[in-house]
Amino acid sequence: MRDMDFVPLGLAADLVILTVRDGRLQVLLIRRGIPPYEGQWALPGGFVRPDEDLETTARRELAEETGLTTERIHLEQLATYGAPDRDPRGRVVSVAYLALVPDLPAPVAGSDAASASWIDVQKVRGLAFDHDRILTDGVERARAKLEYSPLATAFCPPEFTISELRGVYEAVWGTPLDPRNFHRKVTKTPDFVAPVGTTTTRDGGRPAQLFHRGTATTLHPPMTRA
Amino acid sequence: MRDMDFVPLGLAADLVILTVRDGRLQVLLIRRGIPPYEGQWALPGGFVRPDEDLETTARRELAEETGLTTERIHLEQLATYGAPDRDPRGRVVSVAYLALVPDLPAPVAGSDAASASWIDVQKVRGLAFDHDRILTDGVERARAKLEYSPLATAFCPPEFTISELRGVYEAVWGTPLDPRNFHRKVTKTPDFVAPVGTTTTRDGGRPAQLFHRGTATTLHPPMTRA
DNA sequence: TCAAAAGTGTTTGTCCTACACCCATGA
DNA sequence: TCATGGGTGTAGGACAAACACTTTTGA
C-alpha cells in the first residue's frame, strides 16, 4: 500500500435474503423504480454511508426491507463484486451479504417506495446488474453451509420440530431426505438442537417434540446431501 | 440502491500469500517503509486502479511481490474489510485475496523498495492495520479448504510425491498424519492426483511415484484432520 | 546389511442407508 | 377406525484408524 489514491467510486452493500416458504427456497427481490434497469428485479441494497461499517449498512438495509428487528437474523459477508463495468452509472463496488431469515409471520411491509416480493430461487432469471451471479453465489454458499454448520436453524422460528428443520434441508438442497435417519442424525449430533420439553401437533399426526438451536458452531460429522 | 453517492474512499487489494517451506506454513510479509505503521510488518497490497478489476489488482500485486508468472498460481477472494477507522489516513476499504504458491525456487526478488520475507505463520503478531485478522481469516480458509478440495496441490510443484503432498497437509494443519492411510486415501479419491509414470528418490528411501494434479474440484469423501 | 521411506493387507470400530416396525394424535 | 406424521430398532455395507508387514532404494 503506497500513497492514498482516491479513485471516484461508489461502495454499496447488496443483500441476498433467503427464506423457506411453502417448502421452497425463496429470495427477497425489489422491482427497480428508477434507471438503470428500471422495472427489472434486483437484490435489495444501498450505498455505504461515510463512517458506516459495511455490516452496519447491510443490517440497516435488511431492517428496511424486511421490517424486522435484525438482531437475531443470521447475516454474513458473501463476496465483493467490482468489475469496472458492472454498473452503467460509473464505478460501483458492491459488498454482498447473505441473510437467512425464518418464514416471516408479518408481511414484507414498509420497504420504502419499491415493491418487494419473495420469489422462488429456481424461477429467478434476468436480474439487474450482475445480481444473477451474486444470487447464485449466495445460494451455493447456503447449500454448502447446511452441510457442516447448524445454519439451517437460521431459517426456523425460535422453536421448531425436527421435520420442520428437515423441510429446510429439503427446500435448500432440493432433495428429499429420509425422515427417520434425519431425525436420528440431528438429535444425536452434539448441541445441534436442544429439546424445549413441549410438543406440538401443528404438523399433523403424532405430537412432535419442539427444539431450539443448540450451541454447536460446526457439525461433526456433517449432514450429507443425497 | 438509490442515488449515486461517491463517498471519498480508497479501495485496496491486500494479499495473504501462503507457502509451505521446510515443513512449516509461511506467509509473505513486507516491512513498511513509510507511515503509518512505518517499520512494521504488513501484508502486501495496493490500491485498485480506475477501470481495473479487483482480481487484476490482486494478481498484479502478486506478480510484483513474488516475481512469478502468476497464471498458474491459485488466487481466490477472501473477504472485504471496511471498518471506518481501520486506516488512520482515511476511509480505506480492502478486498483481501488468498494466494497459495509452491515453495519458490527463485528468491523473492524485485519487490520494489520494501523488503519482503517469508515468515512462519505461527510467529506472526502485531501486523499493521487489521492485517492480523486478515491473516487469521486466510489461514483458516486454507485449513478448511484442504479438507474438501484438492487445493493442497496448489502448494506443490507441478510434479510431486504423495509424501510431499502429505507434508503440505501436516504443515497447514499442524498435525501428523499416518503415511499409509494418507497414501491410500489420496490415490483412491477419484481424480485427486494422477500418476506421471516416473519416480524420484529425492525424499530418500524407496523411489516414490510422481503425480500431478487431477481434475477433481471437490473431494468426496473429504480429507479428515486428526 | 541397515536405515529410511514407499506402499499393501488386515482388523476393528464407527457411521450411513434402507426399511421394518411401533407410537400418539385428529378426524 | 384410519390416516398422518413421530420416532426406534436393526441388518448390511462403506469407510476410517491403527498397525503388522513387504518392497526398493542409498549409504
Percent of all residues in chain B with a pLDDT value above 70, rounded to a whole number: 92
With CB atoms and an 8 Å threshold, state whether A10 touches B5: yes
Task: State the nearest Cα–Cα gap between B202 and chain A, in angstroms.
Answer: 38
The architecture (CATH level 2) of A149-213 comes to Orthogonal Bundle (1.10)
Per-residue pLDDT band for B172 (boundaries 50, 70, 90) equals very high
With CB atoms and an 8 Å threshold, state whether A14 touches B7: no
User: What's the pLDDT at B110?
Assistant: 54
User: What's the pLDDT at B70?
Assistant: 86
CATH number of A10-146: 3.90.79.10
The residue lying closest to nucleotide D9, measuring its CA against C1', is A180
Per-residue pLDDT band for B49 (boundaries 50, 70, 90) equals very high
- State, as a whole number of angstroms, the distance between the CA of A210 and the C1' of D12: 33
Which bases of chain C are under 7 A from a protein CB atom?
A: 3-9, 15-21, 23-26
Q: Inform me whether the pLDDT recorded for B3 exceeds 60.
A: no
Distance, CA of B69 to CA of A150 (rounded, Å): 41
Which bases of chain D are under 7 A from a protein CB atom?
A: 3-9, 15-21, 23-26
B123 near A CB under 8 A: no
Question: Does 3.90.79.10 match the CATH number of domain B10-147?
Answer: yes
Distance, CA of B142 to CA of B121 (rounded, Å): 12
CB A225 within 8 A of CB B220: no
Q: Mean per-residue pLDDT for B28-56?
A: 95
Task: Name the strand (E) or helix (H) holding B119.
Answer: strand B116-120
- Please tell me which residue, A220 or B129, carries the higher pLDDT value: B129
With CB atoms and an 8 Å threshold, state whether A5 touches B53: no
- Please tell me which residue, B223 or A66, carries the higher pLDDT value: B223
Q: Which amino acid is at A94?
A: S
Q: What are the CA-CA distances from residue A118 to residues A30, A65, B86 (Å)?
A: 9, 11, 36
Q: Quick: pLDDT tens for B83-94.
A: 999 999 999 999
User: What's the pLDDT at A1?
Assistant: 41
Distance, CA of A15 to CA of A61 (rounded, Å): 8
Q: Where in chain A is the domain with CATH 1.10.10.10?
A: 149-213
- Please tell me which residue, A111 or B225, carries the higher pLDDT value: B225
List, for chain A, all residue ranges whose pLDDT scores fall below the cut of 50.
1-3, 113
A29 near B CB under 8 A: no
Q: Quote the DSSP letter at residue A16.
A: E
Using alpha carbons only, what angle is made at residue B25 by residues B20 and B29, rounded to the nearest 5 degrees? 100
With CB atoms and an 8 Å threshold, state whether B82 touches A53: yes
End-to-end, the C-alpha distance of chain B in Å comes to 47
User: What's the pLDDT at B105?
Assistant: 66
The whole-chain average pLDDT of chain B stands at 93
Q: Where in chain B is the domain with CATH 3.90.79.10?
A: 10-147
User: What's the pLDDT at A128?
Assistant: 97
Distance, CA of A121 to CA of A138 (rounded, Å): 11
